[in-house]
Amino acid sequence: MSIELDELDTVVQDTVARLYHRYHIQLRTKPLVSSCVVKNLRKSIREINHLDPETILPRARSVIVVAVPHSVDAILRNAREKEIALSYAREYVLLNKVLKQLLHILSNYLRARGYEAAVPEVTLHGTVHSNWSHRYIAYLAGLGTLGKHRLIITKIGCSVRLGTLVTTARVRPSGEPIKEEYCLAKRGIECSACIERCPLNALKNWEKGGREKCFRMLQEVSRTYKKLLKVEEEVDCCGKCMSNLVCSFKPP
Ligand code: SF4
Ligand code: SF4
């Protein structure tokens, strides 16, 4: 038994358009959805020490991944301002809400057709090394390629938020990793704008303490911006390394 990706795409497009309207977020482009087959991704997931989807949902056959876009305005402001722009941080919280609701609606859609579905946490807090990577699954599902900034550059750029869901449904057609590189530096073309943008120089020394520096700063940001925005949700965002770059809104 299988489900068509086009069906899921219709649910994603309708739901995202409605939620962006509800939260007054500019929908600069259509969101993306794809999937990968659990048995195809099991090997590469184990190599990088990630959870097997079947530990999240027994008999899982597919992992569905969605990418929803940040607005142009929030991204440009975040690039312009020295601190993390309040509008970007607010949008980060709202996009997490959009993802949560979208994945809930997709899960219910699948359940109504007789499949099981489970949603891993959209944002994992409290650990530097996550055991579930939305961006790596997005890469495996063919949504884009990984850039020098360690983010995924999708067909709608790197300024997106990602969410995943595991299901017993087989989704057709399933995605495959994209063969070409989207990142300029990875194609041998000079570009290090994302690396230079990091206020902590963390990307230059990612494996030598950069990751930890970034993680600690995001926790600090979350404490500060929760108060500023008067919200309960985590605001563990920075986004400087995805803001107003050559790959922010589309592959360069
Ligand atoms: S800014 Fe340049 S080097 Fe960095 S990810 Fe984008 S294309 Fe690659
Ligand atoms: S999120 Fe911020 S601190 Fe972390 S690597 Fe990107 S620019 Fe640097």
Ligand 1 atom with the shortest distance to the CA of 149: 5
Best residue among 139, 150, 198, 247 to mutate for probing ligand 1, ranked by most atoms within 8 Å of CB:
247
Ligand 1 atom with the shortest distance to the CA of 153: 5
| Ligand 1 proximity of 242 Cβ (cutoff 6 Å) | no
Q: Which ligand is nearest to the CA of 210?
A: 2
| Ligand 1 proximity of 184 Cβ (cutoff 6 Å) | yes
Ligand 2 atom 7: the closest Cα is on which residue? 198
Instruction: Report yes or no on 252 lying in a domain.
Output: no
Q: Based on the structure, what is the number of domains in the chain?
A: 1
User: What local confidence, expressed as pLDDT, does residue 111 receive?
Assistant: 97
Give the containing element (helix H, strand E) for 210: helix 210-229
Q: Rounded to the nearest whole angstrom, what is the distance from the C-alpha of residue 91 to the centroid of ligand 2?
A: 17
Beta bridge partners of 152: 146
Domain limits at 28?
2-242
Beta bridge partners of 32: 67
CA distances from 30 to 44, 63, 67, 164 (A): 29, 20, 9, 17
User: What local confidence, expressed as pLDDT, does residue 47 receive?
Assistant: 63
Instruction: Report yes or no on 15 lying in a domain.
Output: yes
- Could you list the mean pLDDT of each consecutive 10-residue stretch along the chain, which spans 252 residues? 94 98 98 93 70 89 97 97 97 97 98 95 56 88 96 97 96 94 97 95 92 94 97 95 96 96
Rounded Cα distance, 4 and 31, in Å: 17
User: What local confidence, expressed as pLDDT, does residue 122 receive?
Assistant: 47
- Give me the DSSP letters along 112-156: HTT--EE---SS--S-SS-S--HHHHHHHTTSEEE-TTSSEEETT
> pTM for this one?
0.94
Indicate the DSSP class of residue 82.
Answer: S
Instruction: Report yes or no on 213 lying in a domain.
Output: yes
User: What local confidence, expressed as pLDDT, does residue 123 receive?
Assistant: 46
CA distances from 184 to 139, 146, 194 (A): 17, 11, 11
Give the containing element (helix H, strand E) for 46: helix 38-47
Instruction: Report yes or no on 147 lying in a domain.
Output: yes
Rounded Cα distance, 164 and 137, in Å: 8
HSE-up of 181 (CA within 13 Å, CB side)? Answer: 10
Instruction: Report yes or no on 7 lying in a domain.
Output: yes
Instruction: Report yes or no on 247 lying in a domain.
Output: no
| Ligand 1 proximity of 191 Cβ (cutoff 6 Å) | yes
Ligand 2 atom with the shortest distance to the CA of 217: 3
Q: Rounded to the nearest whole angstrom, what is the distance from the C-alpha of residue 134 to the centroid of ligand 1?
A: 19
